[in-house]
Structure formats: structure tokens, C-alpha cells
Structure 1
Amino acid sequence: MMNDELGAEAHIRKNMKLLITGTAGFIGFHLTRRLLAEGHDITGLDNLNEYYDVNLKFARLKKLGIDLSSKQKSSESFSVQAGRLHFIRADLTDKEKLLSLFRDTSFDHVIHLAAQAGVRYSLDHPQTYVDSNVTGFLNILEACRRYPVSHLIYASSSSVYGLNTDFPYSEEDRTDQPASLYASTKKADEMLAHAYSHLFSIPVTGLRFFTVYGPWGRPDMAFFKFTDAILHQKPIDVYNHGKMARDFTYIDDILEGILGVMKGDAPRGNPPCDLYNIGLGNPVNLMDFIRAIESACGKKAEIRYQNMQPGDVLKTHADISALQTLCGYHPKTDIQTGMKHFVEWYKSYYHLS
């Protein structure tokens, strides 16, 4: 089944007022579409930056009912209402605009997914990561402090485990050895969340996303790049000579985990601050992943083996037992099925036979 046909297992109270940041991003788009289908009023924020093809972001918004004019696409700031979705193009570093939004709208939940993603890009653009991932999140926390919400859920990353070699990664493991600036900013977010939760009793849950893939995914990620190259009969670069593994997680499974956290009780501890891994729980070897893409594409890859890249880690493996206990999280999609869905979407989106 293509991801466009939405299944529904986890539900939350109807008619909630939700803020989702990163609405035009990969995970934000899917979550917004799912929650709109369940009848919630959503305010979506995104700065629509050009880190990757902004036309893909416009296309995601169009799928959500936001069909932008040429003038709006070139504008740095605008607001559009389409049904239950109120979309605002804004940057989270604009603190006053964010505070005004919180003041004027009483949000039930805030799901903060906006971030500057990518490990390698952070090597040459460090300030972008600090501005978006640290300052932007700090402003979200300040807004939740001044205008309290029932639950703040934010995206962290498996990258925080850094050079840790104890597998599977547990939420109790050390995360003080980041291997990239991106990982450092995500660890900073976790520490900021804990401090604000402790000081101001903000109910907050962080989700450490492991490698997410699926339809409408990000063009900078390996599954997208490999598919594009294989279908166009171009070589792919495979780092560390293919001796790597990732906890690849299909987008539908990720949605079930997020919704499971949303429908449950907000944290009530002291401080009311939780952290969970959200992944498949079963790492896939890179070469097996490439074979799944080849099978879905019906073509063989031309591989150029490369050395390890700075900022990369050899393996990620999520211990998902805590999230299973919290909300019955059980990812179901194997890599062959997931990549089949992605390649079907890719061919449709780019009009390939």
C-alpha cells in the first residue's frame, strides 16, 4: 500500500489545536496530513529554506491543500489558511513572531520537527545548525514557558549517541561523545529541554529518530540518492566500502510512534521530561539496503567504494523497548516493502515509467 492511503491505528482526542513546526519537511508533512485526516486544527510553520529542492517542499504543501502562488513562493513571510490547516512561512529565530503566535492561539500540543538536518552539511555550515537547531528550539521552549501547552514533543536524533559502541543504543547510554556538529546541536536540545522542564514544569518528550525513509523523503538522504542514481544508470558512492549498518525506519512506523506518544499521558515526573528512541530496532547492513533498492528499481547499481566520511558512524541500532512499553510501539515495515513503496512514489513524482 502506498503511503498516500492513510491507515489509522493511533488516535488522539478530536479537535485539538496543534502546532507542527517543519510542516513542509519529510516527517512534518506526513504527520500534518495524518492529523488533518483525524480532524484536528493545525498551525504549521516552516521557513522553506533551500537546503534541498524547495519545489519538493512546495509539492508537499500542495498535497496538504496549500497551493502557493509564485509571489508567495518568493516571499520570505506569508500566512495561508486551507481548511483546518493554517500555514505560516516563518523562521523560528524570529522570537517575537513566535511569541505572538503562541499568545494568539492556545495550543494543546506542540510537535517541534523543524531543524537543519544532515551530518555532512554541518561541516561547512556550522552557524546554520546553531541558529536553527539551538536558537530555534530555545525560542520554542520560551514560548511554551510563557504560554503553557499540555505537551511539547520534539525531534532529537540517533546522532546523539555519537561514538558510543554499545549496541543496541539505550536511552540510558552516554551521549557525551558527538561525532558531528549536527549531533552536538541535538544533544544541546535535549539538555535545554531538560532544564526548561525542570525550571518551569513544561511537560516535554524528546524522540531520538533513527534513519527515516519513505515516500516524499529528503533528497539528501542515501535512500533517495541511491534510487535516483540507479534509475538513471549513474554510479553510487558507498562509504567505508559498504561496511556500515543503519536502523532504517519506514515513515508509517514513525507516525505510529509519534501518535502513540501524543495519545498517551504527558510526562508527570520531576521534571516532567522524557526521552525515547524511535526506530526499527533491527539494523540493516548497507549492502543489504542497496540490494533492496536494486530489487525495487529492477536495476543493478554501479558502485564506487569510498573511505569513511567525517562525521559518519559505523552502525546505529535502537533499543525501542521503552517506547514499546509506553505506547505499544511495534514497527512493521521491512526494508524490501518500504523501499518498494518509495520507488513507486519516486517514479510517480518524477514521471518515470
Structure 2
Amino acid sequence: MKNILVFGASGDTGKYFVNYFLDHYSGKEYKLIALGTKNISYFSDIGIEYHQIDIRKKEQFKNLPKDVFGVIHLAGMMPARMKGYDPQKYIDVNITGTLNILEFCRENKVDRILFAQSFGDIKDYAENNIRLSFDLPRKFSFTTDHTIYVMSKNFAVDMIENYHQMYGIKRFIFRLPTIYLWSQNDSYYVDGVVHKIGYRTIIDNAIDGKNVEVWGDPTRQKDMVYVKDFCQMLYKALFVQRDRGYYNVGTGIGTSLQDQIEGIVEVFDDNKKSNIVFRPDKPNAPQYIMDISNAKDELGYEPKYSYLDMLYDMKKEKELGRF
């Protein structure tokens, strides 16, 4: 039996992927092993082997299972999880940590690595063209608190390419926009200061029957991709007969801000008391649609969740309380 290691499994996306794998894999050839920084019992509760590891410390890799087929690298430091501003953490986790993972892959002759990249490297294109192609060259700002983060993820991608070309490790890169999911954690950091996640505020207001607001231009569109569709992409890349791939994560469909808000009210306002209030005086929301054509062609990926399907499933996960 070959092992598949999921670094960053104790994060929200990691937990979803582990459950997705359990729901979809019925063979005996591969065993999934979860790795993360947190001391939690979640994985033992669902029958998954779990190792606590700090990827910045190479000596901790010595105790990991061997005979590894694939590595899914979801671990990383990101602005949304950083209190204050300490760019050294981006270097230590996203660069040094990724190098340690790559060395583990080389030493253990791992077949492939799957890596979660930020779409911050091409986000600026959306200002002039709402559809973001999967093959756009990098273009990002050098004047924000996100810059070192984006650069650290870019360098991690370049290191993975180096190990692909020098050592033959198959590599699959996934460029992530906002990934929507249900989690107990409803806050994130903006410029180092904690805030409640915007869509969670809207959901809470809808549940409470309060007014919900549509800020700025209600026609602006965004690609609303659900975590379980991202998990589908990862799962397919684990077993695809290819040496490499670079994919945008998304649905390829834009959902207008007005439709986003109306959908939340439809799904979460059980008592139908919320009113939608338009606020054109407020700032516009970002807009972008991810080109996923090569993911469809090369992985056989087809998004399963429409926007409303996603909301209903999020509501189901909220009620189940798994995450």
C-alpha cells in the first residue's frame, strides 16, 4: 500500500479534502495520512492516521511514513491568518517549509506533488479583463502587505518546477481565489487586524431576519467556487496520467453580487424576514471569473456545485457541525 500525505490537513480545506477522499476512494492501493500543526483528535475520530509537524523544521520529517506516492501541499502562511505583519513568516513557512517538503519528496522518490498557489499573482488582470486565463504571466502589486506573501508563493512554485525538471517529480499547481466553505472559524485578518468574513456576516443577518446590504455595483460578477469542487480537482490530479499541470480553481461562471445576496437570503432566511438594501454609495466588490478550460480537458474536471447548490450544502454542513 502506497501512502498519500496531506500537509496542512488540520486547516479547513485540508479537513474537507480528507473527507472527500474517504467518500470517493474505495480501493486498497493507497492510504491517506493527514499532517498538520494543530494538536487535534479530529482525524483519529474518523479513522485517519495523523502526524503533527512543523514544516519549517526539517528534522521533523524523519519520523514521517515512507513509501509515499503523492504529496498534497496545502500548508502555508497567508495574510488572512496573520495577526499584525511579520513577512518573515511567509519566508519560513511558504519557502523554507516547501523546500523541506520537496527534499522529502526527492529523498523518498515521491511520484507527484500537488500545491495550492494564490491567484494573487494574476489578480491585477481582473481590473481590465474579468476572465482570468490559466496561462497568464504573473502580474501583481509591489506596494501592499500581500506582496511578500505572493512572492513567497511564486517562489515556492518555481522551486517545485525546479524539482520537477531536475528529479522528475510530477507537479500540479492550483491557483486559488476565495474558496467558499462552512467552518467554525468566521473571521480573518485584513492588514493584520481581525475582521468577520463578509459572507458570514451576510449569512448571520439572513438567519436573524435582518436587512442585508448590496454594496456598490450589484452587477459585478465573481466566480463562486465551493471547497468540494476544489477537492474534486485535487482528487483527479492525484490519479491522472500526466507529468504536470497548472490550473485555475473555479467554476468558469460569474455570479452577480445581487444574485449572491439574494441566494443567501433564499437559503438561510428560513422565516423570510430579511430585506435587501442596495447601497451604491459603498465600495464595489472585486470581480473575476476563472478560466478552467484546461482543467476540464486535462483532468476531466466538471464543477458539481452551482452557486445555490453550494449554499444549500454549506447550510447542511453548518447543521452537521463536522467542520
Coarse TM-score class (shorter-chain normalised): 0.7 to 0.9
CA distance in 1, matches of 2:207, 2:266: 11
**Aligned counterpart for 2:204 among listed residues 215, 220, 228:** 228
**Aligned counterpart for 1:28 among listed residues 6, 10, 14:** 14
Give, in angstroms, the shift of residue 112 of structure 1. 0.7
**2:192 — aligned with what?**
none
Where 2:124 maps in the other structure, the secondary structure is: coil
CA distance in 2, matches of 1:233, 1:199: 58
CA distance in 1, matches of 2:36, 2:241: 27
User: Which residue type is aligned with residue 90 of structure 1?
Assistant: I
Tell me, yes or no, if structure 1 residue 163 matches structure 2 residue 141: no
**2:33 — aligned with what?**
43
**2:294 — aligned with what?**
322
CA distance in 1, matches of 2:208, 2:309: 22
User: Which residue type is aligned with residue 293 of structure 1?
Assistant: I
Give, in angstroms, the shift of residue 215 of structure 1. 3.6
Any conservation in 1 of the 2:4–2:71 contact (CA below 8 Å)? yes
**1:7 — aligned with what?**
none
Tell me, yes or no, if structure 1 residue 331 matches structure 2 residue 303: yes
Any conservation in 2 of the 1:218–1:224 contact (CA below 8 Å)? no
> CA 1:302/1:23 → structure 2, altered by over 3 Å: closer, same or farther?
same
- Single out whichever of 188-197 and 325-334 deviates more from structure 2: 188-197
Any conservation in 1 of the 2:212–2:274 contact (CA below 8 Å)? no
Give, in angstroms, the shift of residue 318 of structure 1. 1.0
> CA 1:233/1:348 → structure 2, altered by over 3 Å: closer, same or farther?
farther
User: Which residue type is aligned with residue 289 of structure 2?
Assistant: H
CA distance in 2, matches of 1:347, 1:301: 24
Give, in angstroms, the shift of residue 347 of structure 1. 4.3
- Single out whichever of 250-259 and 224-233 deviates more from structure 2: 224-233
Any conservation in 2 of the 1:109–1:149 contact (CA below 8 Å)? yes
Give, in angstroms, the shift of residue 46 of structure 1. 1.0
Any conservation in 2 of the 1:204–1:274 contact (CA below 8 Å)? yes
Give, in angstroms, the shift of residue 113 of structure 1. 0.9
CA distance in 1, matches of 2:292, 2:52: 34
Q: TM-score, normalised by structure 2?
A: 0.79
Any conservation in 2 of the 1:161–1:175 contact (CA below 8 Å)? yes
Any conservation in 1 of the 2:2–2:67 contact (CA below 8 Å)? no
Name the one with the larger strand percent: 2
> CA 1:190/1:297 → structure 2, altered by over 3 Å: closer, same or farther?
same
> CA 1:239/1:122 → structure 2, altered by over 3 Å: closer, same or farther?
farther
**Aligned counterpart for 1:205 among listed residues 153, 161, 172:** 172
User: Which residue type is aligned with residue 209 of structure 1?
Assistant: L
Give, in angstroms, the shift of residue 201 of structure 1. 2.4
**Aligned counterpart for 2:57 among listed residues 85, 90, 94:** 94
Give, in angstroms, the shift of residue 241 of structure 1. 6.3
**Aligned counterpart for 1:108 among listed residues 69, 93, 112:** 69
**5+ residue gaps, structure 1:** 1-14, 50-57, 67-81, 268-272
> CA 1:242/1:274 → structure 2, altered by over 3 Å: closer, same or farther?
same
> CA 1:94/1:330 → structure 2, altered by over 3 Å: closer, same or farther?
same
User: Which residue type is aligned with residue 172 of structure 1?
Assistant: D
**2:274 — aligned with what?**
300
Where 1:29 maps in the other structure, the secondary structure is: helix
Any conservation in 2 of the 1:150–1:266 contact (CA below 8 Å)? no
- Single out whichever of 336-345 and 118-127 deviates more from structure 2: 118-127
CA distance in 2, matches of 1:167, 1:329: 22
Any conservation in 1 of the 2:3–2:69 contact (CA below 8 Å)? yes
Give, in angstroms, the shift of residue 234 of structure 1. 6.9
**1:142 — aligned with what?**
103
Deviations 1:305-343 (A, max 9, x none): 7447xxxx8322111110111121110311112112212
> CA 1:285/1:188 → structure 2, altered by over 3 Å: closer, same or farther?
farther
Where 2:125 maps in the other structure, the secondary structure is: coil
Where 2:313 maps in the other structure, the secondary structure is: helix
Any conservation in 2 of the 1:151–1:266 contact (CA below 8 Å)? no
Any conservation in 2 of the 1:122–1:129 contact (CA below 8 Å)? no
Deviations 1:69-117 (A, max 9, x none): xxxxxxxxxxxxx74x22112211111112x145x51211101111223
Q: TM-score, normalised by structure 1?
A: 0.73
- Single out whichever of 158-167 and 258-267 deviates more from structure 2: 158-167
Any conservation in 2 of the 1:18–1:109 contact (CA below 8 Å)? yes
- Single out whichever of 183-192 and 113-122 deviates more from structure 2: 113-122
